[in-house]
Amino acid sequence: MDTIPAVLAAAADRFGDGDAIVDDPVRLSWRQLYAEVRTAARALIALDVRPGDRVAIWAPNTHHWVVAALAVTCAGGVLVPVNTRFTAGEAADLLTRSQAKVLVVAGEFLGRDRLAELRDGGHPVPATLVVGPAGVLGPTAAEHTADWAGRADLAAEVPVEVADSRAGAVTPDDLADILFTSGTTGRSKGAMSAHRQAVDVARAWAELGEVTAADRYLVINPFFHSFGYKAGILVCLLTGATIVPQAAFDVVAAMRLVARERITVLPGPPTIYQTLLDHPDRAALDLSSLRLAVTGAATVPVVLVERMQSELSFDTVLTAYGLTEAVVATMCRPDDDAATVARTCGRPTAGFELRTDPETGEVLLRGRNVMLGYLDDEAATAAAVDSEGWLHTGDVGRVDERGYLTITDRLGDMYVSGGFNVYPAEVEQVLARLSGVAESAVVGVRDERLGEVGKAFVIRRGDELSETDVLDHCRRELANYKVPKMVEFRGELPRNSTGKVLKRLLRE
């Protein structure tokens, strides 16, 4: 059972009438989900999707995305998720580079008609299926190849046996997806993974999270990212947990979903939990069903972990480390204490080997779940994965005597002040322990005397914290060359879709 179509078929058989997706007003059992996917797969085949063809999805977290993505794999195609925040030009670049045969795109959503943007920009558009959060087409619907409501008509052109044969012919080593990197440090690259890899990393995540069919999983992490797709949708397929997608994060709506649907699993970046904890309406809603949180992608203060357990009722809080090229490489264990969860990313999972470069401290990974390579980019692949199979992550870290990894920074984020290397994550961890700091990001900026000095961007909790307070705290806790020379208070920090702070924008 190492292909996504096989996992889906098994889920329909094992979990039957249990809730597969709750996306009000749509509720699908596992059997119904399987039937919907088979219909959508036939529709894709009618649009001439053949084994190995790429199908892009440019849409938010809804049941449509789940059905469409699984249908792509059952048709023998290759899934290419597209970031919903992308402009038409950025999306068109991915469509061209992946040679997408079909585009599944949202209709009007959050004030945008993405298909209209593509056409207005003069970008080539492949055959298209259009969906929306409520299945409603945008104003350019008449020009589309098909709409979501018409997928059954398309499917009628293809016998069920043809689609089932396609799904059954998929092998574990076939290419399953091309996930493009976030592009925070340059042009995005398409990381390719096989079915066996997608299933294996999801299975490892599910086992460490102890996810079962009794769980109800609120997926806030975007489906176009591996956290939402592989550690979300695929985890639920393997375990029978219910998928409850949220199209766009809204803290009040999320809390109401938790209360109404008795959500048990709620992964996300640290900022989501901080927002929940600080919201004035939290006490009015019953969030006691929550049991599992998995976080990462940023500094996690120990006090935040402790508050999540004491105030949000999480029995288990885990941190994990992953990247598009390896998905989930390390993860904490359910019995780890709060300090371990906050200060480390856990130890290897999913068959990964882990070490750090003795000279640079760069984190290196090796194992069966390292990506197959970058799409059409042999040079970038060779630069990322060396001749011995080690993936060079670009992250700096250390491994303790227990084998637990702590990420200290990105190689590109480190700056040199007066001849000394400064790793911003270390400074941010110190700032996280200062009362009144909700979040921070530190970058290096040019300085005539020292080359570079630190500048701290701080989000305050309340208005009482001053620049002097911040700098005095850093002087007490850090060597002088690590102390930021400037502090700027902000209401928010620029982020990519997965919650990572875009430090290049702060440097600019």
Q: Which two tokens stand for residue 70?
A: 């699984």
Q: Looking at the predicted structure, is the pLDDT value of residue 499 above 80?
A: no
Q: Quick one: 191 and 253 in the same domain?
A: no
CA distance 393 to 375: 17
Residue 213's contacts (CB-CB under 8 Å, 6 or more residues apart) are 15, 18, 239, 240, 241
Q: Quick one: 349 and 485 in the same domain?
A: no
Across residues 144-164, what is the average pLDDT?
A: 89
Which comes out higher in pLDDT, residue 299 or 157?
A: 157
Residue type, 479: A
Instruction: Give the HSE-up count for residue 42: Cα atoms under 13 Å, Cβ half-sphere.
Output: 20
Query: What is the structure's pLDDT at 138?
Result: 47
Q: Which two tokens stand for residue 58?
A: 């440019």
Q: Quick one: 183 and 272 in the same domain?
A: no
Complete DSSP assignment for 148-176? GGGHHHHHTTS-HHHHHHHHHH--TTSEE
Residue 367's contacts (CB-CB under 8 Å, 6 or more residues apart) are 326, 348, 350, 351, 352, 353
Instruction: Give the HSE-up count for residue 323: Cα atoms under 13 Å, Cβ half-sphere.
Output: 23
Q: Quick one: 145 and 262 in the same domain?
A: no
pLDDT band for position 135 (50/70/90)? very low
Query: What is the structure's pLDDT at 184?
Result: 44
Is 408 among the domain residues?
no
Query: What is the structure's pLDDT at 379?
Result: 94
Q: Quick one: 435 and 351 in the same domain?
A: no
Which comes out higher in pLDDT, residue 290 or 149?
A: 290
Is 107 buried (19+), middle (13-18) or exposed (0-12) by CB count in 10 A? buried
Q: Looking at the predicted structure, is the pLDDT value of residue 163 above 70?
A: yes
Is 223 among the domain residues?
no
Domain end among 328, 356, 384? 356
Q: Which two tokens stand for residue 190?
A: 């398409």
Strand partners for 192: 178, 373
| 162 torsion bin: left (phi>0), alpha (psi -120 to 50), beta (else) | alpha
Please write the tens of the pLDDT for every residue from 343-359.
Answer: 899 999 999 999 999 98
Q: Quick one: 50 and 188 in the same domain?
A: yes
Q: Looking at the predicted structure, is the pLDDT value of residue 139 above 70?
A: no
Strands 451-460 and 26-29: unpaired
Across residues 45-59, what is the average pLDDT?
A: 96
Strands 316-321 and 330-331: antiparallel
Q: Quick one: 86 and 149 in the same domain?
A: yes
Residue type, 314: F
Question: Where do the H-state alpha helices sit in 123-250?
Answer: 151-155, 160-169, 195-209, 226-228, 234-239
Residue whose entry in the numeric block shows the structure tokens 């961007």 = 457
Single out the residue of 212, 208, 201 nearest to residue 240, CA to CA: 212
Residue 447's CATH number: 3.30.300.30
Q: Is 223 helix (H, G, I), strand (E, B) or coil?
A: coil
Please write the tens of the pLDDT for every residue from 302-352.
Answer: 888 889 989 998 999 999 999 899 999 999 999 999 889 988 999 999 999
Q: Looking at the predicted structure, is the pLDDT value of residue 271 above 80?
A: no
pLDDT band for position 498 (50/70/90)? low
Residue whose entry in the numeric block shows the structure tokens 């060079």 = 392
Q: Looking at the predicted structure, is the pLDDT value of residue 482 above 70?
A: yes
Residue 152's CATH number: 3.40.50.980
Q: Looking at the predicted structure, is the pLDDT value of residue 83 above 60?
A: yes
Strand partners for 170: none
Q: Which two tokens stand for residue 25?
A: 């007003």
Strands 353-356 and 362-366: antiparallel
pLDDT band for position 374 (50/70/90)? very high
Q: Quick one: 176 and 270 in the same domain?
A: no
| 184 torsion bin: left (phi>0), alpha (psi -120 to 50), beta (else) | alpha
Can you state the percent helix, strand and coil of the chain, rounding each to 5? 35, 25, 40
CA distance 89 to 111: 17
Strand partners for 388: none
Is 243 among the domain residues?
no
Q: Which two tokens stand for residue 269?
A: 């970046």
pLDDT band for position 417 (50/70/90)? confident
Is 274 among the domain residues?
yes
Across residues 145-153, what is the average pLDDT?
A: 84
Say what percent of the chain tops pLDDT 90.
Answer: 64
Q: Which two tokens stand for residue 499?
A: 């919650």
Which comes out higher in pLDDT, residue 408 or 487?
A: 487
What are the angstrom distances between the C-alpha of 427 and each of 215, 409, 443, 491?
37, 10, 10, 20
Which comes out higher in pLDDT, residue 229 or 269?
A: 229
Q: Looking at the predicted structure, is the pLDDT value of residue 108 above 50?
A: yes
Is 409 among the domain residues?
no
Which comes out higher in pLDDT, residue 418 or 241?
A: 241
Domain end among 356, 375, 397? 356
Single out the residue of 438, 167, 203 nearest to residue 298, CA to CA: 438
Cα dihedral value 300, 303, 306, 311, nearest 10: -110
pLDDT band for position 411 (50/70/90)? low
Q: Is 21 helix (H, G, I), strand (E, B) or coil?
A: strand
Q: Looking at the predicted structure, is the pLDDT value of residue 140 above 60?
A: no
Q: Quick one: 315 and 419 in the same domain?
A: no
Domain end among 161, 196, 231? 196
Residue whose entry in the numeric block shows the structure tokens 């921070």 = 440
Q: Which of 132-136, 203-207, 348-352 bottoms out in mean pLDDT, i.e. has the lowest?
A: 132-136
Across residues 36-54, what is the average pLDDT?
A: 96
Q: Quick one: 352 and 460 in the same domain?
A: no
Single out the residue of 92, 89, 99 nearest to residue 175, CA to CA: 99
Q: Is 235 helix (H, G, I), strand (E, B) or coil?
A: helix
Is 227 among the domain residues?
no
Is 474 among the domain residues?
yes
Q: Quick one: 352 and 421 in the same domain?
A: no
Query: What is the structure's pLDDT at 403?
Result: 95
Q: Is 472 helix (H, G, I), strand (E, B) or coil?
A: helix
Structural domain of 469: 415-507
Mean pLDDT of the chain: 90
Across residues 114-129, what is the average pLDDT?
A: 89
pLDDT band for position 144 (50/70/90)? low
CA distance 145 to 478: 60
Report the number of distinct structural domains present in the chain.
Answer: 3
Residue whose entry in the numeric block shows the structure tokens 């701290």 = 456
Residue 440's contacts (CB-CB under 8 Å, 6 or more residues apart) are 427, 428, 431, 432, 456, 457, 458, 459
Strands 347-348 and 353-356: unpaired
Complete DSSP assignment for 289-303? T--EEEE-SS---HH
CA distance 441 to 456: 6
Is 326 among the domain residues?
yes
Please write the tens of the pLDDT for every residue from 418-453.
Answer: 766 677 877 888 898 898 999 899 999 887 777 789
Q: Quick one: 336 and 442 in the same domain?
A: no
What are the angstrom distances between the C-alpha of 357 and each of 344, 408, 414?
18, 13, 16
Which comes out higher in pLDDT, residue 92 or 183?
A: 92
Q: Looking at the predicted structure, is the pLDDT value of residue 93 above 60?
A: yes
Q: Looking at the predicted structure, is the pLDDT value of residue 266 above 80?
A: yes
